[in-house]
Amino acid sequence: MVRAIRGAIQIDADDREAILSGVTELVSEVMERNRLTTDDVISVIFTSTPDLTAEFPALAARKLGFHDVPLICASEIDVPGALPRVVRLMAHVETDRPRQEIQHVYLRGAAALRVDIAQ
Per-residue pLDDT in tens (0 to 9) along the chain, 119 residues: 999 999 999 999 999 999 999 999 999 999 999 999 999 999 999 999 999 999 999 999 999 999 999 999 999 999 999 999 999 999 999 999 999 999 999 998 888 887 665 55
Catalytic (active site) residue 88: yes
Task: Give residue-wise pLDDT tens across range 26-37.
Answer: 999 999 999 999
CA distance 49 to 83: 8
Catalytic residue list contains 62: yes
- Name residue 67's amino acid: H
Question: What is the per-residue pLDDT for 112?
Answer: 82
Instruction: State yes or no: is 85 an active-site residue.
Output: no
76 catalytically annotated? yes
Closest by CA position to 61, among listed 75, 71, 51: 71
Domain positions in the chain are 2-114
Question: Is it true that domain 2-114 has CATH number 2.60.120.10?
Answer: no
Q: Which of 16, 17, 32, 62 is catalytic?
A: 62
CA distance 47 to 116: 20
What's the rounded Cα separation, in Å, for the pair 83 and 109? 8
pTM score:
0.93
